Structure 1
């Protein structure tokens, strides 16, 4: 993880365990205005986020391949994914590849097209090639759990991400 130095690890927010890591991944994606389903990782062991530098890292037990059904694209996520994030952009991305025709292409930048209201996201490779897709293809709808009654008589509604 070349982006993640000892200094960055020391000052970053770090989380371990799949459930909290999935939640924190969605939180930081939301903070930088990126779609919540962009990183559909499984069995996440660690997530770290240094807000000062924008460096983010995610470690999962094994590589996964995810198909974004809305656009029919396969994306492979390695055991370690790192990036520098800022509002509307993920750059210096490592550990992510997309299948284009018969070959896997490394992705190194994801950026919302300007103006952000255009609802398009651009995927770039180190060679300068790029593809644009609708943001909606990477959004996972939130599912509301039914209201549950607490013992003190109040009603609680829980909202979770699918």
Structure 2
């Protein structure tokens, strides 16, 4: 689903998932987990927290109205509400929070699987 919309597969770790689905007509996505999950993204040195239920709307190069996802930013947890990638040549992933307009972007490779990184490097060269 993420790859179809241009996002790297590693953006949304699939640990402890017991149910997930998409309503293709609207782009509504939900994931239910057996327990909240923490995931550390090595590339960007960021800790993310995924609640037992994560929902969002996904479309080409953007994910909006995200619920259930937080990232640690300067000693505090910040709720992530939107994520976009550069188009037409994705090089960065941009995250936005509703908290005082806080946003941050990272290289797209920070969220790619090893296979995606190899393909990305081959197409860049």
**Fold equivalence (TM over 0.5):** yes
Larger strand fraction of residues: 2
Unpaired runs of 5+ residues, structure 2, are: 117-125
For residues 19-68 of structure 1, give each alpha carbon's deviation from its aligned partner in whole angstroms, at most 9, with x where no partner exists: xxxxxxxxx00111111001113121101100000000000100111000
Q: Conserved in 2, the CA contact under 8 Å of 1:47 and 1:56? A: yes
Compare CA radii of gyration and give the structure with the larger one: 1
The size of the alignment, in residue pairs, is 115
Structure with larger RCO (C-alpha < 8 A, sep 6+): 2
SS of the residue corresponding to residue 15 of structure 2 reads coil
Asked if the contact 1:75–1:99 (Cα under 8 Å) also holds between the matched residues in 2, the reply is: yes
Q: Find 2:11's aligned residue among 13, 23, 38.
A: 38
Cα distance in 2 for residues equivalent to 1:116 and 1:110: 16
Deviations 1:88-142 (A, max 9, x none): 00000000000011100000000012x3314111000013211010000000124
Residue 59, structure 1, aligned to residue 59, structure 2:
no
Corresponding residue number in structure 1 for 2:123: none
Of 40-49 and 74-83, more deviation after overlay is shown by 40-49
User: Matches of 1:48 and 1:40 in 2, distance apart?
Assistant: 15
* Unpaired runs of at least 5, structure 1: 1-27, 144-162
Q: Which structure 1 residue ranges, 4+ long, deviate > 4 Å from structure 2?
A: none
Name the TM-score, length of structure 1 as normaliser: 0.68
